[in-house]
């Protein structure tokens, strides 16, 4: 299996069996974590339409497309780590860290809130959290299967 068939959300699954059916609108997310993953892959794959369609309708703004496109162009995403997923009937939160490359490796550590409307989950908003220390022995966030210290943590 070529690595470029793997889903960008670092699930270890092939894209076509992971986030692709969501991006194509064939299925909707079973839960907020799946939606969160698919939104991360949409960032990596520059799928602005999907990012807007999974945003809560009340949260959409006229300049969403421009802002998202700019974020996508400026950001070099490296990987995703889901920390915690808490879900109730119609509300959920997902804490995650999305890693990206600037002069050095940076983290977007966020707790995102989701709401289920008419059987479909939507992203509502998020709260930024401080960056955390990445353990040198943990599996690298990029999904390489190597330890962090032998992969993106090598310097
Ligand atoms: Zn995926
Ligand atoms: Zn890595």
Query: 80: domain CATH number?
Result: 3.10.450.50
**Residue ranges making up the domain that contains 47:** 3-150
Calculate how far, in angstroms, residue 43's C-alpha sits from the geometric centre of ligand 2.
18
Q: Confirm whether 72 is domain-assigned.
A: yes
Calculate how far, in angstroms, residue 152's C-alpha sits from the geometric centre of ligand 2.
4
How many Å apart are CA 28 and CA 34, to the nearest integer? 9
SS (H, E, C) 18-36: CCHHHHCCCCCCCCHHHHH
Q: Confirm whether 100 is domain-assigned.
A: yes
pLDDT tens digits for 14-44? 999 999 999 999 999 999 999 999 999 999 9
Q: Confirm whether 120 is domain-assigned.
A: yes
How many Å apart are CA 110 and CA 92, to the nearest integer? 14
Domain count along the chain: 1
- For the whole model, what pTM was predicted? 0.94
Write out the H or E segment, with its range, that includes residue 52: helix 48-53
pLDDT tens digits for 45-88? 999 999 999 999 999 999 999 999 999 999 999 999 999 999 99
β-pair type (91-101, 76-87) = antiparallel
What's the burial of 74, exposed, middle or buried (CB within 10 Å: 0-12/13-18/19+)?
exposed
The band of 3, judged by pLDDT with boundaries at 50, 70 and 90, is low
SS3 content of the chain, % helix, strand, coil (to 5): 30, 35, 35
Which residue do the tokens 């996508």 mark? 72
Calculate how far, in angstroms, residue 147's C-alpha sits from the geometric centre of ligand 2.
8
The chain-wide mean pLDDT, for the chain, equals 95
Calculate how far, in angstroms, residue 38's C-alpha sits from the geometric centre of ligand 1.
6
Calculate how far, in angstroms, residue 130's C-alpha sits from the geometric centre of ligand 2.
21
Q: Confirm whether 155 is domain-assigned.
A: no
Calculate how far, in angstroms, residue 38's C-alpha sits from the geometric centre of ligand 2.
20
């Amino acid at each position: 299996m070529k690595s470029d068939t793997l889903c960008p959300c670092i699930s270890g699954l092939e894209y076509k069996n992971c986030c692709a059916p969501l991006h194509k609108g064939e299925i909707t997310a079973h839960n907020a974590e799946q939606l969160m993953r698919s939104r991360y892959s949409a960032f990596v794959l520059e799928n602005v339409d999907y990012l807007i369609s999974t945003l809560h309708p009340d949260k959409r703004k006229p300049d969403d497309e421009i802002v998202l496109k700019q974020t996508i162009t400026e950001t070099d995403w490296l990987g995703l780590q889901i920390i915690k997923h808490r879900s109730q009937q119609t509300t959920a939160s997902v804490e995650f860290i999305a890693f990206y490359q600037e002069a050095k490796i940076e983290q977007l550590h966020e707790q995102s809130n989701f709401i289920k409307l008419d059987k479909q989950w939507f992203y509502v908003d998020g709260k930024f959290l401080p960056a955390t220390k990445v353990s040198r022995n943990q599996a690298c966030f990029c999904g390489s299967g190597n330890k962090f210290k032998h992969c993106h943590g090598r310097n």
